[in-house]
Structure 1
Amino acid sequence: MDGEAINIKKWIVFYPIYINSKKTIAEGRRITATKACENPTCVEIADSCRYLQLPSAIEIDKAYPRDFMQRGRVRVLLKKEDGTLYNPAIGSRKQLMLQVAELVPRHHGRTKKQEPTPTSTAGPSKSGVGASKAGGKGGRKKK
């Protein structure tokens, strides 16, 4: 156990902001917004890494330096001690970010959350009223 705790410091660091489509490059996003996903969590990233057969560990007590309110990060190991890759398809941080960003929207926790939203009829009708007011403001800006 102690040996693994020391080794984890050499694993790559993966903050959720790296693949968050709601953030800008200046705020810390590291892949294109079109390939990024919306508000990923550490749990979703860690589960995606496990799905990709990569060892990972969540560090909840850590914060992203540019935005200390964003708590948590994931440590991921790409290579074994002998230098071979755990997953031959993922050889770099960038490839890892792109693969995880693709998997997170399909995460089982997300698909469960999204199912009730379209079926509820009260939510869209309320937002429809607010949207008509916002649409009027948008129209004025365009003219």
Structure 2
Amino acid sequence: MQTPEQIKVESKTWKTIYPPYIDSTLTTSQGRRLGKVNCIPHPQLMEISQCLSSLGLRHVIDQHAGFPKDIFKQGRIKVRLFADDKKPYNPQVNCKHSLLQSIAKMIKTIPNRKVEVPAYLAQMEIEKQNQPRQKKQTLNKKKHKNA
């Protein structure tokens, strides 16, 4: 059996999956990698891990790693897609994009899935609703002709 340090060294070459990659509440500039139709709201690490286990893929959960675009979003999963001979472990999943699509489809089929909104996101929504709306300022500049 491998020690956690050996697994950490070995998993450096594995593919990385952050939950925001398949989060339908985010935009592509915030880190979403799939179309909104294929994504799900607020995916959890354990849901992704269950899907990877059912696909027969070896993976390691790192709960304390921050998402590069938003450090408040914690957690990532490192997945081994290919064997040493460059053949995929699962023939249905031959690239990272198809893996993300498979995970999102599988999570959609989970019965009685409870969407848990993270506490900091819920607080941000409350603050956003309580802020007074600001009117757009328009600049009325007169055009001057230089003669």
Which category of TM-score, normalised to the shorter sequence, fits these structures?
A: 0.7 to 0.9
Q: Which residue of 2 aligns with 1:96?
A: 99
Q: Which residue of 2 aligns with 1:134?
A: none
Deviation string, structure 1 residues 46-72 (Cα, Å, up to 9, x no partner)? 110111111111100101011111000
Given the alignment, which residue of 37, 49, 52 partners 2:40?
Answer: 37
Q: Which residue of 1 aligns with 2:54?
A: 51
* Identity level (%): 27
**Which sections of structure 1, spanning at least 5 residues, go unmatched?**
115-143
Aligned residues: 112
Give the TM-score, by structure 2 length: 0.72
Q: Which residue of 1 aligns with 2:127?
A: none
2: CA distance between counterparts of 1:91 and 1:74?
A: 17
Q: Which ranges of 4 or more aligned residues in structure 1 deviate by more than 2 Å?
A: 2-5, 105-108
Matches within 5 A, 1:1-143: 1=2, 2-107=5-110, 111=112, 113=114
Shift of 1:78: 0.4
Shift of 1:112: 5.7
**Which sections of structure 2, spanning at least 5 residues, go unmatched?**
116-147
Structure with a larger share of its residues in helix: 1
* CA gap 1:97/1:112 in 2 versus in 1, 3 angstroms: closer
Secondary structure, aligned partner of 2:24: coil
Q: Which residue of 1 aligns with 2:136?
A: none
Question: Could you say what the CA RMSD is over the residues aligned between the two structures, in angstroms?
Answer: 1.5
